[in-house]
Structure 1
Amino acid sequence: MNIGDKVRLLHGNEQGIITKISSGGRIEIEIEDGFRIPAMKSEVVIIHSAERQYFGDGVVEEKPTVATKNVVKSADGVFLCYLPLNDKDHSIYLSNNAGKNYLYMVSEVFGDNSRTVSAGTINSGSYVKLDEKSIANFEEWPTLHLQMIPINLRTEKTQTPFEKRVKFKASAFFKSKGKAPLLGKDGYVFNLTQTTKDLDIKALNEDLNSDKKTPTKPHQFERPAQSVDLHIEKLTKDHQFMSNSEMLKLQLETFEKSLDAAIATGMDEISFVHGIGNGVLRKEIHKALSQMKNIKYFQDSQQSRFGYGATLVRIK
C-alpha cells in the first residue's frame, strides 16, 4: 500500500484515499468531504482499477464538487472556508455560491515571491479543496492571493474580475464561525465578494477626460469630528482580510487626512482615539506630530475621557 491508493474498509462502508502511513501498520484515510479516519492496514483492501471501472468507487475526485440538492444554500458569493479535520488541522475550501462560473487562481505570497496553491475553473454551486493548514502555525500562515475571473457562458453583461489578498488576524479569524455554503459543515467562513466593488472603466475615463477639459478647483475640506476614532473596525469592514501593516497604513492615512481637514477648516484642537494596544499607532502619530510646524502641542488625553488611549492635538 502507498499514499494515494484508493481503499475500502473491510468492516464498514467507508472508502477513500490513503494520506499517511505510520509505523506499526497504521494508516490515515481521507474519506468524503476531506474528513480523515485512522485504520490498520489489515482492516482495509485496495480498490483495483478494474473494480472501480465496473462498480464505481464513490471517492471524491480532486475537481470542484457540485453541491447536491440536499445541501441548503446560504448567502450568495464566493467563500473561503476553513473546515476542521481534527483539533489541529483545517482543510481550506473555495466555495462558489455566486451564481456565476469563475476561472480562479490561489497563491501563497512570500514577499516578492509566490507559490500557486490551486488554479482552474470553479462552477456555480460547487467547491474545491485548496490546501490544509495547522492552527498551531496560524501566525506563520502566508498571505493568500486569490484571483477570480467570471465566465460568461452566453452573451450577457460583462462582470469585472476581482482579486483579494487575505492575511488573517487571530481576533478576526476565530470570530468568523459559521456554516460553509454548499459544504454544509461548521468552520471559519469568509465571503470574498461581500466587499468587492467593480471598477467602472467608463466612468473613470469620463472623469479623466473631464479633468483635462475643466480647470482644477481648489480642494474643499470638510470639517472633521472633534474626536476621530482610529480603531480599525471603525474604518473598514474588510479588516479581517488585512495584515497588520495594511491596517496601520489605513489608520495613519485617516489620521493625516483628518488633521489636514482640521487645520484647513480652522479648528483649534482635535483628538485621535487610537487605543492602548501595543502602542505602535500612538508612536507613529506622535512621531508625525513632532515634525509638524503648525501644531502648538500634543498630549495624551485624560483618563476620564479615553483611558490614555487618545492624543489631543492643539493647532496653531
Structure 2
Amino acid sequence: MIRTNDTGVVTALLEHGMLQVSLDGSDMEIPVFEEDIVHYTDPLRDQIFAKAKVVPAPKKYQAEPPPPRTVSENQYAILRSSGVQIAFDPAFRSDASIEKYLIFLINDTRYEVVYNFVLSFNGRVAKQQDGKLEAVTALQVGELTFDQLNESPEVELSCWRVTTEGPGAELKKVLKIKPQQFFKKVLTAPLLNRPVHLFRIFENIKDEPSGKQDGEDLLTYTKRQATPAKFLSSQYHSGHVPHEVREKAEFSPEIDLHIEQLAENWAKLSNAEILQIQLRHFDAFIEKSIRLGVERVFIIHGLGTGRLRDTIATRLLRIPEVKTFKNEYHPRYGHGATEVIFE
C-alpha cells in the first residue's frame, strides 16, 4: 500500500472502486481504495496474488466518480482482536504538514473495560480521564501536538475488564513515547480504518495470568491454581479500581421518577408526598451527575398532568452547571423525559 507500506492479499472487490485486502502478518481485512495500492512484482508474491479471486465490477459502478474517503463500518472485519490499543491519528494543516495527533483508545474485543488514562509531559500530568470503553469501540481521549513529541510524552493506562462479578484484575502499562520509535509505528488501526501511529497495550484482556511465576515451587503454584478466580486478581495488580472510576463506569445516565420505581406502598401516599419523594431522588441524581462530570442525562417523568415536568424544569433553571435542557420527542422515551446537558 502506497501510504503505509503494508503488504497483503486482495480478497474481494467492494463497491465504489474499493478492494478488500488481507494484511500480511495480521488477521485483519481492511477496505482500500484501488489507487492506494500497487502490485508487488516479486515472483513469489505474484503467486500469492494469483490466489485472490477478483470479480469484475458491475458497469454501473465503473462509471461513477469515487466517493469521499470515508469507510462504512460494515466493510470492516476483525478476524482476531488485538486488544486495547492507543492510536495517534495525524491531523494535517492546509499545507499538508502535521499539526497534531488525535489520541484514541481502541478496544476491538467483545469485552467492556473500565479505563484510567493519564497523559504527561516532562513528568507533569497534562490530562487525566477515566470512564468505560465499550466493546468494539474507538474513543478519542486527548491530543498531542507535533512539538510536544520533544517534551518526553508519556501515557499511563490502566484497564479493568467489566464482568458480571464486577471489575476484573487491573492491567497497567506506561507508554514512553520516543520520536524515533513513534514514527516507525505506522499501521492501519482497527475501527478507524486508516494509517496511524499504533501501539498495542493489552493484547489479552480476557484471561487472568495463570502461568508459573519465577522462583515459585510446584506446591505453591498448585495451591495458587486451586484458588478461586476472584482471589487471583490481588496477585496481579497493586490495588482496586479507584472508587470514582468504578462509580462513573457503573453510572446510569437516566432516572425513572415514576413513583412505583421509587417507593413501596406508594398507593397509600398523597400527591404531595409522591412529589416530595420524586424530587428528592431527582436532586440526588443531578448532584451525582455533576460530581461525576457526566455530559448528559435523561429524567423520565412521564406525561400525566405535567406538574412533575414543570417542577423539574424550574429546578434545572437554578442549577449553574446545567447548560441546557429540553423536553422533546425521543424515540425511546416519547415526550415523557427531559434531556439535561451539563457544562
When normalised by structure 2's length, the TM-score is 0.36
When normalised by structure 1's length, the TM-score is 0.38
